[in-house]
Amino acid sequence: MNSVIQERDIPSLACGARYLGSGGGGNSYLLQLLTMRAIRDCGPVPFVSALAMDEGTWSAPVAIMGSPSILNEKILTGVELLQAVQILEEQAGIRIDALMGLEIGGLNALTPVLAAALSGRPLLDSDGMGRAFTELQMTTFHAFGVSASPLVMVNEQGRWEHIATPSNWDVEWIARRKVIDLGGWATIASYPMKLQQVKEVGIHQSFSLAKRLGDSVIAAKEDIHQVMKALVQIFSHSLYGRPAKLIEGKVVELERRITGGMMNGMLVIEGEGEHIGEQLEVVFQNEFLLAKQGDRLIATVPDLLCVLDVDNGFPIVVEEMENHKKVWVVAIPAHPLIRHSKMLQTVGPKRYGLAKEFIPLEQLRQSDDREAEGHVSAGY
């Protein structure tokens, strides 16, 4: 991706974004089709680094909030995104000249591209989560002091809601309820910011990373060993860090329940091959959050966890997980901004009630004999 996003870039972008979803973020083939159609009809999307744009320009991240399953049934047209941006402009009294991502993990990597294509506005190579998270305040925007208000939500009937309240936690709480009212999903435009702020609080090069990752994974032709090599190569070269394969085996236990709209539960993987005799437990709440062996912590949120299908190397999202599936579990260190203490206040394991504090993956693995020190080229 150079200075434009073309139709042919979309499958790669969607693919890479799935790995950044850490088990969540949803899948939507519909969204992919809509985005490709929009680019075909309206032209390639101008793609700009936030760091190059004029400071006084206004931007807003866009996303879809709610249930991906409902989205795939009560379908989106794309116009709802335009409406959300328009209404936000009216509510905030600004003109938004560039769009950006809220959440790069999962289907919301495509939402801003669709919005940019339809509106003719450029897309910034930035987002606010660096992966997928469930709640609106789980962004670097919020962590570094940006207000989520005004926030506008629109559904497929054109019904819209507007939220303006000083606390971003309240914005999330209200929005979560309004989404149900609106039928299960809504497009959102929020966190209006001038580019000066975006440069300071955004996670940059997100879309480029997702696309590069997708390109490499697709080139791996569904061979999980090659997919792993691609993950190692791309992530080691980014600000995230080197991925680590935690275990290879079969899912022997799977517990899933819906509480308050969140899909919670855990799965247990029994090791095979060189991991024979080992067991790994992975806890999830919409996304994979924690991996442990007995009481020993192996990886924790905000670091990313992917559970890959052995047959093709694709990441399995929480709602598609099945018992007896053969999988690899891979952990990826999170982008440094997501590990920042201010961000950890909303996305650290303590916040989920899972562990007392965040320990980076690299530190947790130092005690592991199996880890090869040094180069990427030493294998994984």
Partner 1 sequence: MNEKERLQEERKLLLQEVEALLSMIAAPVLVIDQNGAILHVNTLAEQAWRRSQITLTNKQIAELIDQEDILTYLKQGKPTKNLPVQIKDSTGGHHPYRCRLHPLFVNQKVAGAVLQLMKQEPIPEQGADRRYRVRYTFHDIRGSSEVLTSLLAEAEKVAKSDSTILVRGESGTGKEVLAQAIHHASLRSDGPFLALNCAAIPESLLESELFGYEEGAFTGAKKGGKMGRFELARGGTLFLDEVGDMPLHLQAKLLRVLQERRIERVGGSGSIPIDVRVIAATHKDLEAMIARQKFREDLYYRLNVIPLVMPPLRERKADLYDLIHYFMKKFSVRLDKEIKRFSSQALQCLYDYHWPGNVRELENVAEYIMNLEIGELVTVTSLPAYMRNAPARGAEPDFPVIKRTEVPETTYLNFDEAEKKLLFEALKRFGMSTEGKRKAAEALGISVSTLYRKLQRIRRENKLSR
Partner 2 sequence: MYRLGIDVDGVNTYCVVVSQNLQVICKAQLPTTDDVLTGIEQIVRHVLQHAGLHPSQIKAVIIGTSQGYKALLDHQNLAGVITIRLGTSKGSIPPLYEADQSLQQAIRLRYVELPGGHMVDGTPYPMENSRSLLEQFLRGVSVNPDDAFAIASTFSPMNGDHERQVAAWIKQLCGTHVSLTMSHEIGNIGFLERENTAVLNAALARSMRQTLCGLTELFQCLGVSAGIFLTQNNGSVMSHTYALRYPIRTLCSRACNSFRGAAFLAGRNDCVMVNVEENLTHIGIWKKGFPKLIGVGRKIAGIPVNLQMPEISTLDWGAKREVDDDALDRIYQAIQRYQPRFEPLPILFTGEGSEKVVPLFKYPWADVVQTDHTAYVSAIGACIAPISGHVDRMYWLNENNGRDEAIALAKEEAVKEAVLAGANPETVNIQAIEAAPLSYIPCQALRIQVRATGLIEPNGPFR
- Of the ranges 16-24, 165-173, 190-198, 285-293, which one interacts with partner 1 (CB under 8 A)? 190-198
The token duo for 208 is 């480029």
333 CB-near residues (< 8 Å, 6+ apart): 235, 240, 241, 242, 243, 303, 304, 339, 360, 361, 362
- Between CA 163 and CA 151 the distance in angstroms is 5
Q: How far is the CB of 51 from partner 1 (least distance, A)?
A: 6
17 is a site residue for partner 1 (CB under 8 A):
no
CB of 31 to partner 1, least distance (A): 27
Angstrom distance (rounded) from CA 360 to CA 180: 36
Judge contact between 67 and 176, C-beta under 8 A. Answer: no
Using CB under 8 A as the binding rule, the residues of this chain from 117 to 176 that contact partner 1 are 144
**219 scored as a contact of partner 2 (CB under 8 A):** no
In the stretch 288-317, what mask flags binding to partner 2 with x, by CB under 8 A? -----------------------x------
Tokens describing residue 199: 């440069």
Closest to 63 in 3D by CA, of 97, 113, 123, 23: 113
Q: Provide the CA 128 distance to its chain's centre, in angstroms.
A: 9
- 243 backbone dihedrals φ, ψ, rounded to 5°: -70, 155
Interface pick for partner 2 out of 7, 44, 51, 74 (rule CB under 8 A): 74
Phi (first) and psi of residue 203, to 5 degrees: -100, 120
Cα 355-360-361 angle, rounded to 5 deg:
100
Does residue 42 interact with partner 1 by CB under 8 A? no
Residue 70 binds to partner 2 (criterion: CB under 8 A):
yes
Minimum distance between the CB of residue 315 and partner 2, rounded to whole angstroms? 14
Q: Exactly one of 16, 61, 68, 130 binds partner 2 (CB under 8 A); which one?
A: 68
Task: Verify binding: residue 34, partner 2, rule CB under 8 A.
Answer: yes
Query: Closest approach of Cβ 108 to partner 1, in Å?
Result: 23
Q: Write the interaction track for partner 2 spanning residues 83-122; mark x where CB under 8 A is met and - where it is not.
A: ----------------------------------------
Residues 252-311 that bind partner 1 (CB under 8 A): 272-274, 276-277
Residue 296 pairs in a beta bridge with 293
The helix/strand/coil state of 97 is strand
Helix (H, G, I), strand (E, B) or coil at 233: helix
Please choose, out of 10-18, 45-53, 69-77, 296-304, the segment that lies near partner 1 by the rule CB under 8 A.
Answer: 45-53
212 touches partner 1 by CB under 8 A: yes
Characterise 93 by phi-psi region: left (phi > 0), alpha (psi -120 to 50), beta (else). left
Say whether residue 278 binds partner 2 (CB under 8 A).
Answer: no
Binding-site partner at residue 67 among partner 2, partner 1, none, CB < 5 to 8 Å by type: partner 2
Residue 49 or 69 having the CB closest to partner 2: 69
Ranges within 223-252 binding partner 2 (CB under 8 A):
250, 252
- Which residue intervals of 24-65 are DSSP H helices? 29-42
Give me the helix-helix angle, 29-42 and 10-20, nearest 10°: 140
The full DSSP string for 248-291 is: EEEEEEEEEEEETTEEEEEEEEEE-GGGTT-EEEEEEESEEEEE
**Residues making contact with partner 2 (CB under 8 A):** 26, 29-30, 33-34, 37, 66-70, 72-79, 156-157, 180, 183-184, 250, 252, 256-258, 260-263, 286, 311, 318-319, 324, 326
**Residues making contact with partner 1 (CB under 8 A):** 3, 48-49, 51-55, 144, 195-197, 199-201, 204-205, 208, 212, 233, 236-239, 272-274, 276-277, 336-337, 339-342, 362, 375-377
